[in-house]
Structure 1
Amino acid sequence: MMWRIAYLIWIGFTLIAFIGGEYWYNFRNGNYFYRKSDLETKQKRIHEKIPADVYERLPVVTWDDVNTRIASGAQLVVAEGLLFDIRKWIRIHPGGAKILHRVIGTDITNDFFLDTSDQSKFTFDQKDSENRHSMIQYNTLKKYDDTSSFDDSKQKKAVLKRRSIANVFDVINSSSFKNSRVATHHHSTFATTKLASMVIAKVNEYSDNLHKIQQVESEHNPHVFKRYILVNKEIVSRSDARRPVIKLTFQVINYEQLPEFLPGDYIEILCHIKGQVLLRSYTPLQSDKEKCFSIIIRVYEEGLMSRHLMKQLVGFEIKVRGPFDISNQISPVLSPSSPNSSNLSPSNLNPSHLSRYLSRYYEPSPRHILLNSLSNDKCWDVLFMIAGGTGITPMLQLIKYHLNYLNQSPDRNFKLFLLFANETISDIFYFKYLEHLVAASNGKLKITYILTRPPPNWEELSGHINEDILCKWLSNNYIPDGLDQITENGNSTYYMKRYMQALIQDFKHTIKLITCGPPLMIDSIEESLNNIGFPINDKAIFIR
């Protein structure tokens, strides 16, 4: 209650100061809020407030330069093709500091003037249809499903326990702005003039031509961070999971189209946490809701980014760029950096590292090596997938891609096999959705589970993935051409040798094995595959 009273008092003083200053400014200058007709014409409203001599002297920078400065701790925004330093304004912003921290490093043109005609409609807390399917009756893991639901009220109480005015603002805003963006409004001529006084540069991807500015804003540039609104949070792990797994669904804010996410695409999320600039890579999953995508993250106690995302309230925004092709990370020739997540704290990265991580410009790769370049529809005839933990997300991309083509061409013949590895039963997540995919595949997808520490009466595979398990899993699921009449006859070594020879010589089908998971696990699988003679150079991809 005390926090709410303090909040109302703060808002009252802020409104009095803001309205008083606004009217004094308008009286002195004869200016008022922008008329609706002015807003609809989308004139260069900020440009008009910048003296011509100041504008001409402005240096020109690129988004590459902007990203580098953001990583160094700069507090910059872009609007109408201009770069502004808002560091001094953040502390006294009437709407609070946190709302400005969320827009650092992005283009705020539409947000500053609240062009609502270009904004999407938001529906918060609505689950994808994939999660509304009932559990398949023949699911062998049905008795182990114990997925808990997400309680947003508990999340808000947890935020309030951290006891800061900014956190109180967040909770009140998220409760007050239902199915709309949080705390957005038209800015006045006074605010526009104030922002214009903070200009420091021009962004060279834009030009002085207004049409060009609008065109660049509407195009999707994967190297530029854009803000997406969080519309849903779901827990997809069991209630007894040691580390919860959550699914976050985001939606585009303005009129731009959501980019198409292909298997192997990843995005990068940028956040400012405890004085650090953090960048993390995640696998986006196309949602069945228009203009939405999801990510799946496992929350670690020591994980700054995962805990930060877990605490975000529905209705707030996050900074994302991409998609990028994972081929750039897998191929030794194209990989400029480690695929591991980056901690971009100015305290532990020098300028060269900052440029390398945050301001790197990946050239769009035409490869998309997770797809079959020899097929018109890019689908594999036979696809083996091995995933550990959240390494399943690229496999979900692949499965959904193949099943989408199956819906378009029901006669398309392919076989998908997934080996999902976890330590305990509580570590497995997304039970219902995985079984929904199996049911929707019309027999073309088979999922096998393996646990290193299984519960009593566990009927699936157990232990670590080694040569024996790989041999049985491969041979039990797919028989290459020419091997139908060969039986094991008690000599498994001889059989697997023949099996691998037949697999190599199976030119009738395109075959691929893709693995993703913890590096040590992938190293072990690669060694085991090599030991049993699997053609890893031609038919395997390892994502670490």
Structure 2
Amino acid sequence: MSGPPFISDMVLNLVNKTMARYEGRLGKSYTLEEISKHNTPDDFWVIVRGKVYDLGDYLMMHPGGPKLLFKHGGKDATEDFEGMFHSRNAKAILEKFWIGKVNMPTASSSSSFLSPNNLNFKSPNNLSFKSPSPKAATTLSTTTLNTTSSNTSTTNAPPSHSKVEKSIILSKVKIHKKSKHTENTYHYQIELPEEHLNLNWISPLSHVSLSKHHDSQDSLDFKSYTPIKQTDDKKYLEFLIKGYDNGNVSKHIHQLSEGDYLSLKGPIETNESFNFGNQKDYLLMVAGGTGITPMIQILYETFYGKNKPNEKLKFILIYSSNSQDEIIYKKELDQMKEEFNDRLFIHYIITQPKSDSGFDEKTMKKGRINQDLILTCLEPIIIKIIPKMITDAMDVLVCGPVQFNNFQSDELLRIGFKSNQIHLLQ
């Protein structure tokens, strides 16, 4: 059994601050017109599944950055929230900020505000997101999961210059290949629908959501996974998926065999606050466990992809694993390091080495990633860029469990990185 969701004291203090404003008024119904007025950083409401949340106090704490939330101020954020995988912790945090519900208009309403062109709230049978303009278009414009006679459904958003094409499909997909990678991690090849082979499945920092497949798609439990690469013929996406005893989706996937089916939703942009193309000198990547997968995706696309998104950027990867045996994709990472040794610097951090056997002191360090260890890994770079400050030379990507991300964020702030340089993926 999994434990209760974790909510930090800092977030709980923000919840208490918010709830103090609604004493005696919780559960009130609000019209769409009323909700639409709450769209500033100091007065920020959103709708998710017909419920109203006041996230003004939480806006700056959002792991994906405030911009990812802010575009939904006073609007319905259901599609983005459901399209982007959110952990149990994230869902529990959202519910803490609940203040009321949406008072749906009657069909006879003559208000121009409630005309179909302006109505953002979605009925249960049609959750198609309506953006007022391309500039305000949602990054995660996803389709809802109502079953039709076909195996694939698609939602198209207005044109955009975002990294990931604004077309999210929901489809029944087949497991083409499955092989064991580590003790509890498997490598999968998932067959893509032929009509969607050319979507941007592996653009840096994109992911998909996977679920067990049912004929009825209602209330599916999706989990986000990062495709590491797409085969040269574009027919298959490759994943590394770790199984967890308390993980409903991963546990189910590990029980499946080649030829079995999953439901796939994507491609979805993982983090809007980070612009990969704008990185100039170095990118620091801090990964814990399966948090390595988006980093591998970026490295594959950078070094082997056809687009070569940033040909001058250098990477420092600090990767934490419980033991030497649990390092995911080590062979491939070492091969990349050898091939691109002037652009890729890897530091393996082992928290609980099984024994000295297989422990390479040249490439591995014992312990946990903290301020001192990060600075030790960065020393060769610091010497190269003097007198420039290390914090001026790079942004940081962090991916791992929620508590890992929060701890690393604090350690990076202590080093001197600014909050807008630290991009958390979770």
Above 0.5 in TM-score?
yes
Aligned to 1:444: 343
Distance 1:228 1:256 in 2: 12
1:314 maps to a residue whose letter is: E
Cα distance, 1:478 vs. partner?
A: 4.2
| Partner residue of 1:384 out of 281, 284, 292 | 284
Cα distance, 1:228 vs. partner?
A: 2.3
Cα distance, 1:64 vs. partner?
A: 4.5
Aligned to 2:35: none
1:525 maps to a residue whose letter is: Q
Question: Which residues in structure 2 correspond to 1:229-268 (within 5 Å)?
Answer: 229-237=174-182, 241=183, 244-260=184-200, 261-268=202-209
Determine what percentage of the aligned residue pairs are the same residue.
21
Distance 1:409 1:528 in 2: 29
Contact 2:207 / 2:269 at 8 angstroms: preserved in 1?
yes
Distance 1:322 1:407 in 2: 20
Describe the superposition over 1:123-147 as per-residue Cα deviations: whole angstroms up to 9, x where unpaired.
xxxxxxxxxxxxxxxxxxxxxxxxx
Contact 1:285 / 1:293 at 8 angstroms: preserved in 2?
yes
1:436 maps to a residue whose letter is: Q
Cα distance, 1:537 vs. partner?
A: 2.3
Contact 2:230 / 2:237 at 8 angstroms: preserved in 1?
yes
Cα distance, 1:308 vs. partner?
A: 1.3
Distance 1:427 1:312 in 2: 22
Cα distance, 1:236 vs. partner?
A: 1.5
Aligned to 1:540: 422
Cα distance, 1:254 vs. partner?
A: 3.0
**Root-mean-square deviation (Å):** 3.5
Aligned to 1:292: 236
The alignment of Structure 1 onto Structure 2 pairs a total of residues equal to 275
Describe the superposition over 1:422-472 as per-residue Cα deviations: whole angstroms up to 9, x where unpaired.
122232222211112212324321211111112226312111112211111
- The 3-state SS of whatever aligns with 2:383 is coil
1:258–1:234 CA distance, 2 compared to 1 (3 A):
farther
Cα distance, 1:235 vs. partner?
A: 1.5
Question: Greater helix percent: which structure?
Answer: 1
Q: Does 1:529 align with 2:412?
A: yes
Cα distance, 1:368 vs. partner?
A: 6.8
- The 3-state SS of whatever aligns with 1:450 is strand
Aligned to 1:468: 372
Cα distance, 1:272 vs. partner?
A: 5.0
Unaligned runs of 5+ in 2: 1-123, 130-141, 157-164
Structure having greater relative contact order (Cα 8 Å, sep ≥ 6): 1
- The 3-state SS of whatever aligns with 1:278 is coil
Question: Which residues in structure 2 correspond to 1:133-144 (within 5 Å)?
Answer: none
Question: Which residues in structure 2 correspond to 1:42-61 (within 5 Å)?
Answer: none
Cα distance, 1:224 vs. partner?
A: 3.5
Aligned to 2:172: 227
1:265–1:407 CA distance, 2 compared to 1 (3 A):
closer
1:230–1:368 CA distance, 2 compared to 1 (3 A):
farther
Describe the superposition over 1:134-184 as per-residue Cα deviations: whole angstroms up to 9, x where unpaired.
xxxxxxxxxxxxxxxxxxxxxxxxxxxxxxxxxxxxxxxxxxxxxxxxxxx
1:386 maps to a residue whose letter is: V
Distance 2:244 2:181 in 1: 15
Aligned to 2:100: none
2:395 maps to a residue whose letter is: K
Distance 1:67 1:306 in 2: 22
| Partner residue of 1:315 out of 231, 234, 259 | 259
Distance 2:128 2:373 in 1: 47
Question: Which residues in structure 2 correspond to 1:87-236 (within 5 Å)?
Answer: 106=152, 222-236=167-181
2:274 maps to a residue whose letter is: I
2:175 maps to a residue whose letter is: L
Distance 2:206 2:395 in 1: 18
1:268 maps to a residue whose letter is: S
- The 3-state SS of whatever aligns with 1:313 is coil
Instruction: With the length of structure 2 as denominator, give the TM-score of the two structures.
Output: 0.57
| Partner residue of 2:294 out of 387, 394, 404 | 394
Q: Point out the structure with max Rg over C-alpha.
A: 1
| Partner residue of 2:210 out of 269, 282, 286 | 269
Distance 1:542 1:68 in 2: 26
Unaligned runs of 5+ in 1: 1-59, 71-75, 80-102, 108-202, 206-219, 328-366, 484-500
Aligned to 1:279: 222
- The 3-state SS of whatever aligns with 1:416 is strand
1:312 maps to a residue whose letter is: L
Question: Which residues in structure 2 correspond to 1:293-442 (within 5 Å)?
Answer: 293-327=237-271, 367=272, 369-372=274-277, 374=278, 380-404=280-304, 412-442=311-341
